[in-house]
Chains A and B, each alone.
Chain A
Amino acid sequence: MQDGASYQELSRRYGFAPKPVSASRLTQLVSRQDSDLDELAKVIDKDPSLRKRLLRVANPDAENEAEYAIETVEDALMRNGMGCVLVLAMSTPLAQALVKSFQTMLSLKLEDIDPFEAEPLDGEHLLGTISFSGKVVGRVHLRMNLASARAVAAGILGISAGELTDTTEIKDAAGELLNIMTGNFKSNLCDAGLDCRLQTPEMKLSTDFHTPSVPGGGLEHLAFRAGKIQLFVDVTANPWSD
């Protein structure tokens, strides 16, 4: 049966889950360098969650909505450009893949929370980074405190946290979680014509909380919680690096 089948036929044959339509639409719009800002604004304005996230990305120094200097979708698009919209579009499949990974691999319900409401990380934590390059360049960072990282690794491996004595196993499990997230968003980017290649994940213990944005790109902070486990994800990307 190999194989001149279309993607739709292959998706059915392999039993792929449907892809998020709004994220694909937004990525396609952003991938066209001549996209109309009004068209983008309409898509974003129809989705309250996307609107909220765009304004959060457009006001990186504000600690809450009352401190926002940029208050409308149009202003955010004019001031911050398409880079920050691409980050939003990319973050959607990434967040969905993370939530699905928790459900599938750990049987835990992971909730998307406002980063302002999360308990901040303190001291040494596990930091995972995956870089990507091609028609779009950027990085995804995953951070967890060591207790969360241990609980996540134990859950994925199906053992108790006490049985995990080796940090290599913890790093490898968290690295695979990062791999799964970024693999899913890479597929979304490639489908929109923004071909890129992923590097293998780099996992390390860190005390540095700063995530620099790639030059000319947008940056979004995301946070998630499942019981005592908290995860922080930063996404930065520039779609017109070439």
Chain B
Amino acid sequence: MPLKILSVDDSRTIRLIVGRALRAYDCVLCEAANGEEGLAAAAREKPDLILLDVTMPVMDGVTMLTKLKEDPELKTIPVIMLTAESGRDNVIHIARLGVRDYLVKPFKEEQLIEKISRNVTLQKKEAAPATAAAPLA
């Protein structure tokens, strides 16, 4: 069964970049545009990993993380923060909530894959089967 990864970010651009980075891997990407949608998607999809932004409308990433960690069914899902904010107090607070890793924007796709691979086993998609060679005459 392919891995399921949930990307929670209000920027469609970031969700597209995440999708592009994961294109070569055997996984399903689910998306949410804010913390409220992210919590609903986490409960529904039970992802293997969550990528979470901080500043978002409706519900921010820190509130979503707090609620996720309070939920017995969701609290063990590893979360990687994906945000431009790396202020001291924010980082310490988020670490205490139980985040697994932290990637500061801007990031390279290889950095994202490396962080994800530290937490779940990403497998490359199998190459499409080659067309059967024509029999030799």
Interface residues of A (CB under 8 A from B): 2-7, 10-11, 14, 16-17, 97, 100-101, 104-105, 153, 156-158, 169, 172-173, 175-176, 179-184, 186-191, 195, 198, 200
B55 adjacent to A179 (CB under 8 Å): yes
A82 to B8, CA, bound (A): 39
Q: Does B72 contact A (CB under 8 A)?
A: no
Contacts of A100 in B (CB 8 A): 106
A10 adjacent to B92 (CB under 8 Å): yes
A179 adjacent to B11 (CB under 8 Å): yes
Q: Within the complex, what minimum Cβ distance (angstroms) separates B78 from chain A?
A: 11
Q: Within the complex, what minimum Cβ distance (angstroms) separates B134 from chain A?
A: 37
Q: Within the complex, what minimum Cβ distance (angstroms) separates A140 from chain B?
A: 12
Residue of B with least CB distance to A107 = B108
Q: Within the complex, what minimum Cβ distance (angstroms) separates B99 from chain A?
A: 8
A14 adjacent to B102 (CB under 8 Å): yes
B12 adjacent to A97 (CB under 8 Å): no
Q: How large is the interface on B (under 10, 10 to 19, 20 to 34, 35 or more residues)?
A: 35 or more
Interface residues of B (CB under 8 A from A): 10-14, 16-17, 20, 54-57, 83-92, 95-99, 101-108
Those 9 A-B pairs whose CB atoms lie nearest each other, nearest first: A183-B84, A190-B87, A187-B87, A14-B102, A104-B106, A101-B106, A176-B11, A3-B95, A180-B84
Q: Within the complex, what minimum Cβ distance (angstroms) separates A71 from chain B?
A: 36
A5 to B92, CA, bound (A): 8
A186 adjacent to B87 (CB under 8 Å): yes
A186 adjacent to B106 (CB under 8 Å): no
Task: Say yes or no: A187-B85 contact (C-beta < 8 A), given A3-B96, A104-B106.
Answer: yes
Q: Within the complex, what minimum Cβ distance (angstroms) separates A184 from chain B?
A: 6
Pick from B85, B96, B98, B102: contact of A183, CB below 8 A. Answer: B85
Pick from A10, A182, A200: contact of B10, CB below 8 A. Answer: A200
Contacts of B95 in A (CB 8 A): 2-3, 5, 10
A169 adjacent to B12 (CB under 8 Å): yes
A191 adjacent to B88 (CB under 8 Å): yes
Contacts of B102 in A (CB 8 A): 10, 14, 16
Contacts of A175 in B (CB 8 A): 11, 13
A2 adjacent to B85 (CB under 8 Å): no
Residue of A with least CB distance to B91 = A10
Contacts of A157 in B (CB 8 A): 13, 16-17
Q: Within the complex, what minimum Cβ distance (angstroms) separates A36 from chain B?
A: 25
Residue of A with least CB distance to B99 = A2
Residue of A with least CB distance to B56 = A200
A130 to B83, CA, bound (A): 16
B11 adjacent to A158 (CB under 8 Å): no
Q: Within the complex, what minimum Cβ distance (angstroms) separates A226 from chain B?
A: 15
A165 to B87, CA, bound (A): 37
A190 adjacent to B106 (CB under 8 Å): no
A10 to B96, CA, bound (A): 11
A10 to B90, CA, bound (A): 11
B84 adjacent to A182 (CB under 8 Å): yes
Pick from A11, A180, A186, A195: contact of B105, CB below 8 A. Answer: A180
Contacts of A198 in B (CB 8 A): 55
Contacts of B11 in A (CB 8 A): 172, 175-176, 179
A181 to B104, CA, bound (A): 11
Q: Within the complex, what minimum Cβ distance (angstroms) separates A139 from chain B?
A: 15
A16 adjacent to B12 (CB under 8 Å): no
Contacts of A176 in B (CB 8 A): 11, 13-14
